[in-house]
Amino acid sequence: MKKPLVSPIDRNANKEAKEMADFYEETLGFTPNSLFTMMHRPRIAKAFLEMNQSVMENKGRVTSALKRQLAYLSSMTAGCRYCEAHAIRAADRYGSEQDKLNNIWEYKTYSAFSDAERAVFDFAIAASTIPNAVNDEIADNLRKHWDDGEIVEILGVVALFGYLNRWNDSMGTQLEKPAADDGDKYLAKNGWIIGKHEY
């Protein structure tokens, strides 16, 4: 794309934009351009922020780091380069072990990953595939390791990033430099490029 579908508003355009910008400064170290495009309709941005906070909240065993790792795999499956870079950056910032970040695509065999994590990642990839590929085997394996509430959390992350994948790829959202740097650091060896998200 020659430019984003819609240009983001200025972070200081209004009080709501500034408040949301401040929240994301803490979580990612910058505010995503995607939020500033949503702010053309503040209720959409506000609803997204509430959903994001609800889904990514740490309730226990589905840790903040695990949620960001599965968000990465979900986004990689969907093909959204913007969200891949954001998710891997957030995984790093929320305590993912470097060894896991460097070997996440080897999760099926790499010793740093547990069987419970493998069940989550298999599910995330199947749930992010079109058409959906969740079957009895994947579901049964997920249930073996996680309870109903935890499964709802896991699917919440996949669904949240499904929204973000479509938003950012269709919008052609410009990728911010810190996220692009982390994409290069962790993902380029597996073929990640910034693609349509650079202007």
Residue by residue, what is the 3-state secondary structure of the chain? CCCCCCCCCCCCCCHHHHHHHHHHHHHHCCCCHHHHHHCCCHHHHHHHHHHHHHHHCCCCCCCHHHHHHHHHHHHHHHCCHHHHHHHHHHHHHCCCCHHHHHCHHHCCCCCCCCHHHHHHHHHHHHHHCCCCCCCHHHHHHHHHHCCHHHHHHHHHHHHHHHHHHHHHHHHCCCCCHHHHHHHHHHCHHHCCCCHHHCC
pLDDT-derived band at 10 (thresholds 50, 70, 90) equals confident
* Beta-carbon contacts of residue 168 (< 8 Å; ≥ 6 apart): 34, 80, 82, 83, 197
Domain residue limits at 121: 61-197
- What is this structure's pTM? 0.94
Q: Is residue 176 part of a domain?
A: yes
Q: Is residue 26 part of a domain?
A: no
Residue 65: what residue type? A
State yes or no: pLDDT of 181 exceeds 80: yes
- Residue 85 sits in a domain whose CATH number is 1.20.1290.10
Q: Which of 10-24, 60-74, 101-115, 167-181 has the lowest mean pLDDT?
A: 10-24
pLDDT-derived band at 21 (thresholds 50, 70, 90) equals confident
- Check residue 157 and give its pLDDT: 98
Q: Is residue 5 part of a domain?
A: no
pLDDT-derived band at 102 (thresholds 50, 70, 90) equals very high
Q: Is residue 100 part of a domain?
A: yes
Q: Is residue 11 part of a domain?
A: no
Q: What is the mean pLDDT of the chain?
A: 94
Residue 130 backbone phi and psi in degrees, to 5? -120, 120
* Rounded distance between C-alpha atoms, residue 6 and residue 27, angstroms: 24
State yes or no: pLDDT of 79 exceeds 80: yes
More confident residue, 18 or 174: 174
For the chain, the domain total comes to 1
Query: For 28-41, what is each residue's pLDDT tens digit?
Result: 888 899 999 999 99
- Check residue 36 and give its pLDDT: 92
State yes or no: pLDDT of 27 exceeds 80: no
Q: Is residue 88 part of a domain?
A: yes
Q: Is residue 133 part of a domain?
A: yes
Residue carrying structure tokens 């990839």: 125
Query: For 115-171, what is each residue's pLDDT tens digit?
Result: 999 999 999 999 999 999 999 999 999 999 999 999 999 999 999 999 999 999 999
